Chains A and B, each alone.
Chain A
Amino acid sequence: MRIVVLAANIYSERALATLVALHKAGFTPIACVCLSTLSLSTIVRKLAQYGPKNFVLYVVRRLNMFRGGRHLKQFQDLQFDNPYLEHRLKYHNIAFSDVASACTEYNIHLCYCKDVNSEKVLSFLRKFDIDLIVYAGGGILRNGLIKTPKIGVLNAHGGILPEYRGMNVMEWSLLQGDQIGVTVHFIDSKIDTGQICFVNKVPVSGEDGSITALRNRIVDTTVDALVEAVRMLAKGEMRTKPQAPEEGKQYFTMHEKLLELAELKLNHIVDPLLK
């Protein structure tokens, strides 16, 4: 199967873990499309996402990584935000820390772009006659890109569909006392409304001490779920289920006051588990 992976940037831990997991499962992607890191919109987005102080820390850490070379000999030097993904890469003896290095290592074609929907990307993909795109970040996809692969664009959504569409869905599920999980689905022209492949529920465990920890574990779960979906597609075992737009609600970025409440709710679930 000819697979292409979409990555949010070359430092995307999720995209790196997905590339590695697909390679280890015997489905090495043929190409990877990656958004350029140094664009004004990315800087503004990161600044708003992290706040000025954490943004500076983020930049310093990335610069350190660059200074240390892309191929780091010591695993201890890998600096990941997500300890689950870091653990996964150490387990596989991976000694590189960004998407570009992984592409060099596995002979994957790499395309940098400012917009994954651009003509540059579409013509790059047409060269490979691809079967499947695996989404590991890269913004909103337009119809041109969605219709390029023969099978479709596969995404692992960090919430349970069709009930929880949109952003911060894990936090919204927690806040509303619902189960959390990961849904693998095909991307269509609307937000999280494509055909559902399967849902993996993720029970809260004692190690989920904070929203960030739980989110990291969910991201780790999405990597396994994507590999599982690719395996099912390769074997012809995939049965998808359509979803109607009115079946679920679209959620938006959660305000920090509600995030605090969700964290409190998580603590109420985790505390008895620790005891």
Chain B
Amino acid sequence: MPLRTKFQRHFRRKIEQFVRELNPAYWPLGAFVLVHDTMQYLLHSPTTPYSYTRSRFPTQRSLAIVMQWITRAQDASQDGGIAAYASLYGGFGPSYPETTGYLIPTLIDYGTMSGDWSYVERAVRAADWLVGLQSRDGAFPGGFALSSDGPSVFNTGQILFGLLAVFQRTGDEKYRRAALRAGQWLVSVQSSDGSWQQYTYEGKSHVYYTMVSWALAELYKATEEPTFGRAVRHNLDWVLTQQKPNGWFEGYNLRHRPIYLHFIAYTLQGLLEAASIIGPTQVIEAVQKPAELLLRKFELKKSLSGAYSPEWHPQALYMCMTGNAQMAIVWQRLSQITNDLRFFNAALKMHELLKASLWYRGPYILRGAVKGSFPIWGRYLTFRYPNWAAKFTADSFMIELQLLKTLYSKEMPCES
């Protein structure tokens, strides 16, 4: 079936669902966003080579409103965790342990950068909530808060980021102990081939669990415990065996789901960051190939598809905004590692795309929120604004500011 027909059917189904499930209180807002996004999508014509080369909004301003949205998502949940998303169906969702975990470093980094210590306090509050969810064996549960899901490798890995960041900021041993127990549990359930198969999504191994490897690599850096380093190397070796000559990684193993850009970028980001701590240079080369391929696609088309096939053919007519922000991070980190400024250039343009999709005024659930899909009825988190999209967007903006500062300090050593 042609992509356009599939998209039209999906659009009709989503509109019907939207009308059926929408909370009456959100009708005016939902209808407005729907019409607005439809218009923007129809007018989105990136036909010129000059698209996204100019800054319409200062990055600091965009970063500030995204961070403010994250604080509102935390305040909405009241347990210290951060609401998984804001939805046009009915406002903020429940707290989400996995993403609360990796939002903690973002809160701390922004607090340090802006000098607003309330963000650090928020990070500590979120970490305290997470510590309370840890089971005796060190694992953290999957799913949303209060769900009865069993232990989850991916969630434990992402929460590890938060525990380590708070320990490094406060020096409180309870977070270190929790992080160590989580790390030991992750090592104990790793399969003999280096992947994770137990306590995973659908009980299968997934290449994007490189994000778990990255968390373990951070733990290895903090504790210098060789077991963690070995586990990371073992997983990276397994992931590298999954790479095809065209740069694509096999083994996403997501049944009935397209391979969203979000998962592709997870794999690349995890590989890159884990390798930059542990050291094997061939991993960086393995990341560079697909990252450069996506850079070329973005530069030529002025957007990335929301999902791709193993032949790198676009599988969606919508964009996955989380994946977009993550790719901007991957490109910026590659630019730092390889000194190739083409990656930074593409990330700057991607930032313009992300900034243009934000609401700078308007209702509090939308102001500063990053949508799951553009247009909002796209398949990835339809009609929702996930907190992880905001997290990766904020992280990417912070890397931009840091990179620009470094580049300017090279040019103007006296002034800096």
Chain A interface residues (CB < 8 Å from chain B): 41, 44-45, 48-49, 51, 167, 172, 175-176, 249-258, 261, 264-265, 268
Contact = CB atoms under 8 A, between A and B. Distances in A.
A255 B348 contact: yes
Contacts, number: 57
B45 interface: yes
Interface string B296-337: 100100000000000000000000000000000000000000
A255 B412 contact: no
Contact of B55 (A172, A254, A256, A264): A256
Interface in B337-387: 340-342, 344-346, 348-349, 352
A258 B55 CA distance: 11
B411 A261 contact: yes
Contact of A253 (B49, B341, B411, B412): B49
A258 B341 contact: yes
B345 A254 contact: yes
B344 A258 contact: yes
B225 to A, nearest CB: 41
B348 A258 contact: yes
Interface residues of B, number: 26
A225 to B, nearest CB: 24
Interface string B394-413: 00000000001001100110
A261 B411 CA distance: 8
Contacts of B48: 44-45, 48-49
Contact of A255 (B296, B345, B407, B411): B345
Interface majority SS (helix, strand, loop, mixed), chain A: helix
B51 interface: yes
B408 A261 contact: yes
B345 to A, nearest CB: 5
A255 B47 contact: no
B54 A265 contact: no
A67 B247 CA distance: 57
Contact of A41 (B47, B52, B341, B344): B47
A117 B341 CA distance: 33
A256 B345 contact: no
Contacts of A252: 49, 299, 342, 345-346
A54 B45 CA distance: 21
A44 B344 contact: no
A44 B45 contact: yes
Contacts of A255: 52-53, 345, 348-349, 352
A138 to B, nearest CB: 15
Closest 8 CB pairs of A and B: A255-B348, A252-B299, A48-B48, A48-B50, A45-B48, A264-B411, A49-B50, A253-B49
Given A44-B47, A252-B299, 4 more contacts: A44-B45, A48-B48, A172-B341, A253-B53
Given A41-B47, A44-B47, A252-B345, A264 B53 contact: no
Nearest to B59: A257
Contact of B348 (A251, A257, A264): A257
Most buried by A among B49, B51, B408: B49
Nearest to B296: A250
Most buried by B among A172, A176, A249, A257: A257
B53 to A, nearest CB: 5
Given A175-B341, A256-B54, A258-B344, A167 B411 contact: no
B349 A265 contact: no
Contact of B342 (A41, A249, A268): A249
Contacts of B342: 249, 251-252
A187 to B, nearest CB: 18
Interface string B54-71: 110000000000000000
A200 B318 CA distance: 45
A41 B342 CA distance: 27
A51 B54 CA distance: 9
